[in-house]
């Protein structure tokens, strides 16, 4: 069992896989919708919960942190940055940016390996 | 500012490695992996790989000695980190007016500074993730949420929101216990 998990950690975090998963979740929740202040809470919660559920289904020994920011599209400015202190061989991150006519959505996934 | 922080981090990192090697019997590695933005003007990055870190393949086969430790010896000091966030955001942003170039640089700087200060607390065995959002304060609406899948007994987070007349800033620090 130890060797099985070490194999997973050697491969590291698969950012492309996570990117696809999250993009599908966002498309499912926000696709075709316009910005609506009443629903925004529910949408953010759905995106985050569904992303987390799908990531867990990958069955890898990781702890996940999923952050979602949804902003209304207007003439404003918005910046995001992150800084991480971790083991770069096993841990990883992925950011998905999605937009439509009325809103922008930025989802960050951070995955930290569990060493068993 | 960023280069001097990096030098300090390297020094702190190597000191810590030596210290942990002497006190435990096995070697505990912790390598810093900051997200570095390339020199273009994009302020969003979907994935950053650090090729330098993967060359050290011998690290992957290190067998670590069992310490029989089940959880953290000291809990993560959320209140102290809240104060650090408040301090850093207020000092860096109190006088500032929102400008795209300034805030682009400021988000990166602030997240690096917060990470360095939390690292200085020397909480053992915790991995840190610092996320910083800065936005213009106009009449638009924004919602930022996050959810975490972790062990709630040992992992935690800290958060602070700063506002002045032209901008808002949100800083989150997630602390994950590393077995």
pLDDT at B160: 92
pLDDT at B40: 45
pLDDT at B76: 85
pLDDT band at B1 (very low <50, low <70, confident <90, very high): very low
Judged by CB atoms closer than 8 Å, whether chains meet at B33 and A41 is answered as no
- A64 part of contact set with chain B, CB < 8 Å: yes
pLDDT tens by residue, B130-172: 999 998 888 777 888 888 888 888 899 999 999 888 888 999 9
When pLDDT is averaged across residues B85-103 and rounded to a whole number, the result is 88
In angstroms, the CA B113 to CA B6 distance is 10
Q: Are strands A78-85 and B167-177 parallel, antiparallel or unpaired?
A: unpaired
Judged by CB atoms closer than 8 Å, whether chains meet at A85 and B111 is answered as no
Mean of the per-residue pLDDT values for chain B? 73
Weakest mean pLDDT among B53-62, B78-87, B117-126: B53-62
Contact B162, B88 (CB under 8 A): no
User: Which chain A residue has its CA at the smallest distance from B127's CA?
Assistant: A86
- Tell me which residue of A71, A79, A81, A77 sits closest to A105, measured CA to CA: A71
pLDDT at B61: 64
Is residue B4 pLDDT above 70, yes or no? no
Segment 86-105 of chain A within 8 Å of chain B by CB: 86-89, 91-97
Phi-psi region of B125 (alpha: psi -120 to 50; beta: other; left: phi over 0): left
Nearest to B140 among A9, A71, A85 (CB): A71
B155 token code pair: 């992992």
HEC secondary structure over chain B: CHHHHHHHHHHHHHHHHHHHHHHCCCCCCCCCCCCCCCCCCCCCCCCCCCHHHHCCHHHHHCCCCCCCCCCCCCCCCHHHHHHHHHHHHHHHHCCCCCCHHHHHHHHHHHHHHHHHHHHHCCCCCEEEEEEEEEEECCCCCEEEEEEEECCCCCCEEEEEEEECCCEEEEEEEEEEECC
A102 token code pair: 């009325």
pLDDT at B49: 47
Is residue B89 pLDDT above 70, yes or no? yes
Nearest to B129 among A6, A65, A114 (CB): A65
Is residue B177 pLDDT above 70, yes or no? yes
Helix (H) or strand (E) holding A108: strand A103-113
Judged by CB atoms closer than 8 Å, whether chains meet at A75 and B130 is answered as no
Give me the percent of chain B exceeding a pLDDT of 70: 66
Judged by CB atoms closer than 8 Å, whether chains meet at B138 and A45 is answered as no
The top-scoring range by mean pLDDT among A58-62, B2-6, B67-71 is A58-62
Cβ-based neighbours of B68, under 8 Å, separated by 6 or more: none
B137 token code pair: 């304060």
The parts of chain A modelled with pLDDT lower than 70 are: 1-11
A46 token code pair: 């759905």
Judged by CB atoms closer than 8 Å, whether chains meet at A44 and B111 is answered as no
User: Which chain A residue has its CA at the smallest distance from B46's CA?
Assistant: A95
Nearest to B60 among A45, A66, A89 (CB): A89
Residues in B closer than 8 angstroms to A49, CB to CB, are 147
Judged by CB atoms closer than 8 Å, whether chains meet at B179 and A15 is answered as no
- Across B48-73, b (16+ Cβ under 10 Å) vs e yields beeeeeeeeeebeeeeeeeeeeeebe
pTM of the model: 0.69
């Amino acid at each position: 069992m130890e060797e099985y998990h070490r194999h997973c950690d050697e491969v590291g975090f698969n950012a492309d896989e996570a990117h696809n998963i999250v993009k599908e979740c966002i498309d499912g929740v926000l696709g075709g919708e316009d910005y609506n202040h009443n629903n925004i809470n529910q949408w953010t919660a759905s995106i985050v919960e569904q992303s987390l559920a799908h990531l867990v289904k990958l069955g890898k020994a990781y702890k996940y942190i999923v952050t979602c920011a949804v902003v209304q599209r207007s003439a404003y400015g918005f910046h995001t940055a992150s800084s991480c202190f971790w083991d770069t061989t096993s841990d990883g991150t992925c950011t998905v940016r999605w937009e439509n006519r009325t809103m922008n959505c930025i989802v960050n996934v951070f995955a930290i390996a569990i060493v068993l | 500012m960023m280069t001097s922080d990096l030098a300090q981090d390297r020094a702190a990192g190597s000191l810590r490695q030596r210290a942990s090697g002497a006190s435990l019997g096995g070697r505990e590695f912790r390598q810093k992996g900051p997200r570095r933005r390339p020199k273009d003007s994009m302020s969003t990055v979907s994935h950053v790989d650090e090729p330098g870190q993967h060359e050290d393949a011998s690290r992957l086969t290190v067998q670590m000695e069992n310490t029989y430790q089940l959880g953290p010896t000291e809990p993560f000091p959320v209140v102290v980190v809240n104060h650090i966030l408040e301090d850093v955001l207020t000092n860096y942003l109190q006088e500032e007016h929102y400008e795209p170039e300034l805030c682009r640089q400021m988000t990166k700087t602030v997240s690096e500074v917060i990470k360095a200060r939390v690292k200085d607390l020397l909480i053992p065995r915790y991995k840190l993730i610092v996320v910083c959002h800065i936005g213009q304060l106009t009449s638009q609406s924004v919602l930022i949420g996050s959810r975490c899948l972790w062990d709630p007994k040992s992992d935690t987070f800290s958060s602070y929101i700063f506002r002045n007349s032209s901008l808002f800033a949100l800083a989150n620090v997630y602390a994950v216990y590393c077995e």
